Structure 1
Amino acid sequence: MIQAAGAGIIMPLMMSVVMFIFPADKRGSAMGLIGLAMIFAPAIAPTLSGFVIEYVSWRWLFIGLIPLVGVVILLAYKFLINVSEGSEAKLDVVSVILSTVSFGLILYGFSHAGGHGWDDTLVLISVIVGISVLVLFTMRQIRASDPFLDVRVFQNKTFTMTSLINIIVTMMLYADMILLPIYLQDGRGFTALDAGLLLLPGALVNAFLSPITGKMYDRYGARPLFIIGLIFVIPSMWAVTDLTEATTYTFLMVRTIFLRIGLSFITMPLNTAGLNALPKELITHGTAVNNTVRQIAGAVGTAVVVTIYTAQSTDYTSQLASQGVTEKVRELASIFASCQSYYFMMVLAIIALVITLFTPLKSSVPLEGEEGVH
């Protein structure tokens, strides 16, 4: 929770700084460069963590971060400066409590749904109470003269629609990062390091394409990039709906590269398009909402795909048992369940494409001092 509190400050702040120091026509390139850093680190993480787990100890996943954090603190102290005017704001303690309880319970419920099932009492209570408290939180923000989180950002149709696409894309990304290693390790017997190495090339391609797609956003806008990206993503999901025991490691690696190429056309341009549509005074609230949306979407995507995987695996295991199959039951069930889960993700990608076609992505960028929604 302490680590999450730090990340909750840093990630939205980074986006806000970019939006403040770059003009609207350069933000795509700037966000693309930021994307290189944001994507490169997770790109090498699965491979590095697989190596650490296999040859050292899982404890070093955390111990190894300590010197990195120390370096970051020193660099921040030396180079970071304030880029915007400060303002006196009274902390709404009630809103802090409501947001913490609501988002915390929702994330807890969805995170545990994958392992315990949706009929688990604790899961249902967590999600229902979390949503109820979230409604109270939202009503308080609407009525407040100085809201803790300004939900007026959702009055902007472009921001709202890009947030929906953001939810779907994040769900697919997190689900794929969970599902593919499960298939490789449970269904095929590969090691954690093997799974990490398979994900590495695609993630690196994604990272190094990010600055390029950022410049393309500045030149061509968001819609063409989203469509191109989803044209890559949808076949990449379809390609793994028919996995077998003979599916080659190379095929999966190439498929993952194509998926990551598609995501590079979507991820950072998506954030830029949504924030560019907001007036300047709402950008900080927009970045906070974006960060929250990604966290919840990641938890929801993981929970839903694991639930589908678990249910399909259990049903297929029962079918094999009724047919008298006793060899490699777990492996066969894992492969079948993975295929069914990827069908769900392919449908999500198609939905994202439909939303893209109806999103007003060509609205003008609000200038400082401009009012309202475009």
Structure 2
Amino acid sequence: MNAAGTQQEASIDLSKIKRGPIVFALIIGAFVAILNETLLGNALPELVNELGVTYSTIQWLATAYMLVVGVLVPVTAILQEWFSTRQMFLSAMILFFAGTLISAVSPGFELLLVGRIVQALGTGLMLPVMMNTILVIFPPEKRGGAMGLMGLVIMFAPAIGPTVSGLILDSTFLADIASAWRWLFILVLPLAAFSIVFAAIYMKNVSNLTKPKVDVLSILLSTIGFGGVVFGFSKAGENGWNHPQVYWPIIVGGVALLFFIWRQLKLKAPVMDLRAFKFPMFTIVSILMLVLMMTLFSSMTLIPLYLQGALFMTAFRSGLVLLPGGIVNGIMAPISGKLFDKFGPRVLVIPGLIILVAALWLFTRFDASTSTGYVITAHIIMLIGLSMVMMPAQTTGLNVLPPQLYPHGTAILNTLQQVSGAIGTALFISIMTNGTKDYLSTTSDPTAPTPAEAANGVVAGVTDAFWIGLILAIVALVIGLFIRRGKVPEGQEAASTGMHSAERQTN
């Protein structure tokens, strides 16, 4: 760290920071940004009709969003060393507000896509800043509870997204004022505006700015690498694995990532400091999150397809079926965080992964006559397991890092989530598609199956995919057996002791 960075570090007294308002600002911003990711899904058919574009074109609203977040997150580590917490958070929320406004008033697809890209820029900045701020302002023994609150938002917001969007899209009152899909953006604007005003008042600077030299080549390699991989896998579910839009981006992205990794290991001030992987517990958690997020993203994609394709539910009703699981997960996340602070990770992570394996096995039993209650129960069980694993595991991995690696650790984990989400979704969709085709090939008329045959085809494809998901969950369980509470770096322990002393004097 240079002299300027040391001087600034000394000037930041974390014992005088009021954590409550900062956490509240983070929760509001994260809730708005993450809710937005799932709000638009139900509106895609309406957008196809109203904007006069094809389904392959409209999918860019989701693909571009995922692509921008996947490209931006890896460079947030270096950005957090150049710009303060307050600057990063406010910039993220202002970008998100601007993108939402552009989307709400867009006259056609092109401007709507621009709005979604600007929204994604805000979300990509937000998520790593949120996790890094929690690491800085809370001592290790209190991070579980704080991360649990963040987990509540991260899991609850996307769970209620389809239900909320279904209510908005079905509202005739709102549709009489403006196109129904516009309300998905209009109603988010006041929340985003409130988040900006609240953060402007209460958000404080908690990071130490070292302002290292920025390696432009690393940023270029990162953009091509992560962007190519995310794009290629995101198109695989639509085009199949043998399409040039799939394999060429993955090949180019993979080569760029190899050069990116090589360059980071050579630089004194890397854009993404891979020395975080020298800490064994962080490496174990990173591998676990890679496998776990593949399972999570794919399940969240497959269950609605099963509900609508095999059980013939509407998008709104399928959203209602998934809502109880989201609510239970929201309740469980803070509880898991508090239990983590008290008992450590193993008491939560291993039972949570066993519960997850059980839930995936229940998913493999789905058929065309499965009751709604069975689906709701299986989904709730899965999210209980995930709530016991996600934040405790991530907190365990990040706790072992020294403070100067916090931005890099959070950037690495968030990047892995984006990449594994794209890989998992593409992999499971392709398995489902092939399974459905194989089943329909045995019917009397594969090109025009009866509704019952079509439903059974979806069931065949979905259960094939869930069997692979079950295998991945078992792999995650084996990895989870190696997780234990890591040793906190000595400097971090000292800082924690100082903060507690100041708290006792204040109280």
Q: Give yes or no for TM over 0.5.
A: yes
* Correspondent of 1:28 among 135, 141, 144: 144
Asked if 2 retains the 8 angstrom alpha-carbon contact of 1:314 and 1:333, the reply is yes
Match in the other structure for 1:63: 186
Q: Which structure 1 segments of 5+ residues have no match?
A: none
Asked if 2 retains the 8 angstrom alpha-carbon contact of 1:95 and 1:148, the reply is yes
1:58 aligned counterpart, secondary structure: helix
Match in the other structure for 2:460: 336
Asked if 2 retains the 8 angstrom alpha-carbon contact of 1:243 and 1:336, the reply is no
1:368 aligned counterpart, secondary structure: helix
Asked if 1 retains the 8 angstrom alpha-carbon contact of 2:359 and 2:379, the reply is yes
Pick which of 71-80 and 313-322 moved more: 313-322
Match in the other structure for 1:118: 241
Q: How far 1:250 sits from its partner (Å)?
A: 0.9
Over 3 Å counting, the alpha-carbon distance change for 1:265 and 1:90 in structure 2 is same
The answer as to 2:419 corresponding to 1:296 is yes
Q: Which structure 2 segments of 5+ residues have no match?
A: 1-116, 494-507
TM-score norm. by structure 2 comes to 0.70
Q: How far 1:187 sits from its partner (Å)?
A: 1.1
The answer as to 2:329 corresponding to 1:220 is no
| Residues 133-148 of structure 1: pairs in structure 2 closer than 5 A | 133-148=256-271
Q: 4+ residue stretches of structure 1 with deviation over 6 A?
A: 322-325
The answer as to 2:493 corresponding to 1:349 is no
- 1: CA distance, partners of 2:445 / 2:292: 38
- 1: CA distance, partners of 2:382 / 2:187: 30
Q: How far 1:196 sits from its partner (Å)?
A: 0.6
Q: Structure 2: which amino acid aligns with 1:32? A: G
TM-score norm. by structure 1 comes to 0.94
Asked if 1 retains the 8 angstrom alpha-carbon contact of 2:136 and 2:206, the reply is yes
Larger radius of gyration between Structure 1 and Structure 2: 2
1:274-314 Cα shifts (integer Å, max 9, x gaps): 10111121111000111111111111111111010011111
Match in the other structure for 2:156: 40
Over 3 Å counting, the alpha-carbon distance change for 1:369 and 1:174 in structure 2 is closer
Asked if 2 retains the 8 angstrom alpha-carbon contact of 1:178 and 1:302, the reply is yes
| Residues 121-270 of structure 1: pairs in structure 2 closer than 5 A | 121-270=244-393
- 2: CA distance, partners of 1:142 / 1:229: 35
Q: How far 1:325 sits from its partner (Å)?
A: 9.7
- 2: CA distance, partners of 1:323 / 1:192: 26
Over 3 Å counting, the alpha-carbon distance change for 1:196 and 1:144 in structure 2 is same
Asked if 1 retains the 8 angstrom alpha-carbon contact of 2:396 and 2:486, the reply is no
Over 3 Å counting, the alpha-carbon distance change for 1:258 and 1:146 in structure 2 is same
Q: Structure 2: which amino acid aligns with 1:37? A: V
2:442 aligned counterpart, secondary structure: helix
The answer as to 2:435 corresponding to 1:312 is yes
| Residues 34-113 of structure 1: pairs in structure 2 closer than 5 A | 34-55=150-171, 56=175, 57-113=180-236
Q: How far 1:326 sits from its partner (Å)?
A: 4.6
Over 3 Å counting, the alpha-carbon distance change for 1:116 and 1:325 in structure 2 is closer
1:214-262 Cα shifts (integer Å, max 9, x gaps): 1111122112211111121111111121222210001111111111111
Match in the other structure for 2:4: none
- 1: CA distance, partners of 2:394 / 2:234: 25
- 2: CA distance, partners of 1:325 / 1:115: 20
Q: Aligned Cα RMSD in Å?
A: 1.8
Asked if 1 retains the 8 angstrom alpha-carbon contact of 2:345 and 2:392, the reply is yes
- 1: CA distance, partners of 2:281 / 2:426: 28
Asked if 1 retains the 8 angstrom alpha-carbon contact of 2:163 and 2:319, the reply is yes
Match in the other structure for 1:286: 409
1:311-333 Cα shifts (integer Å, max 9, x gaps): 11111110123799952222110
Match in the other structure for 1:17: 133
Over 3 Å counting, the alpha-carbon distance change for 1:238 and 1:93 in structure 2 is same
1:266 aligned counterpart, secondary structure: helix
- 2: CA distance, partners of 1:369 / 1:162: 20
1:107 aligned counterpart, secondary structure: helix
Pick which of 68-77 and 87-96 moved more: 87-96
